Amino acid sequence: MASYVALLYSIVLGEGRRVMMADLRAMAAGLGLGHPETVVATGNLVFDADDTPIATLEQQLEAAFVARFGKRVDIILRGAWAWHRLAAGNPFREAAAADGSLVHVRVMRERLTDKELDRLAPYASGGEQMRVVDGDLWIHFAGQRPSEGRMLGQLSARRGGIGTVRNWNTVVKIAAMLEARGQAAEP
């Protein structure tokens, strides 16, 4: 059995309706996924499964989500070792140590290239810094809260491909959960 991280693009089902994490865990258990746990109430799921291709698990989870909640949501998966590699690749470690809520990563289904930085550059304000590491987009929202700038509005599937944003604090919590499951940083 291997551990996987599933990140939901959105847990909003409609006006005033959100996915409850207990329901998300129950959905995963219903698929036969082992030991489903959620990390903070924003659509982060860690579970165990037989060694399965990521795309297959994504499709299974997305179909189950539609069946259970009546809405299609992109779900991006990473294996445990890939999650540890993502965390190790943080190019803004010093800033993250000072305030993890100001460092975010957009975890992508398809790898980004540095061309994405050119597209996003006009939306950077307040000293925001960006890097693409292993196909994921890292952003340091230096000097302002992420919601105060124009960058977050550009991080949609329509504009930049399927992905979802998590802050450094969440990345670290997920990594700790994987470590507690005995999932090492290398395969």
Provide the 3-class DSSP secondary structure of residue 41: coil
What is the DSSP-derived secondary structure letter of residue 171? H
Residue 15 has pLDDT above 80, yes or no: no
What is the per-residue pLDDT across 72-123, written as a single tens digit (0 to 9) for each?
Answer: 999 999 999 999 999 999 999 999 999 999 999 999 999 999 999 999 999 8
Assign 185 a pLDDT band (cuts: 50, 70, 90): low
The mean pLDDT value of the chain amounts to: 91
Which runs of consecutive H residues, i.e. helices, occur in 37-143?
54-69, 80-88, 93-98, 115-120
What is the DSSP-derived secondary structure letter of residue 47? E
Residue 174 has pLDDT above 60, yes or no: yes
Domain limits of the chain? 2-83, 84-169
152 vs 99: which has the higher pLDDT: 99
Residue 187 has pLDDT above 60, yes or no: no
Q: How far apart are CA 17 and CA 20, in angstroms?
A: 9
Architecture of domain 2-83: 2-Layer Sandwich (3.30)
Assign 143 a pLDDT band (cuts: 50, 70, 90): confident
Domains 2-83 and 84-169 share a fold: yes
User: Do residues 30 and 77 make contact, with C-beta atoms less than 8 angstroms apart?
Assistant: no
Residue 186 has pLDDT above 70, yes or no: no
Cα Rg, the chain, nearest whole Å: 16
What is the per-residue pLDDT across 47-70, written as a single tens digit (0 to 9) for each?
Answer: 999 989 999 999 999 999 999 999
Residue 17 has pLDDT above 90, yes or no: no
Residue 184 has pLDDT above 90, yes or no: no
Does the domain made of 84-169 have the CATH classification 3.30.70? Answer: yes
Here the tokens at position 79 are 């294996």
User: Do residues 71 and 42 make contact, with C-beta atoms less than 8 angstroms apart?
Assistant: no
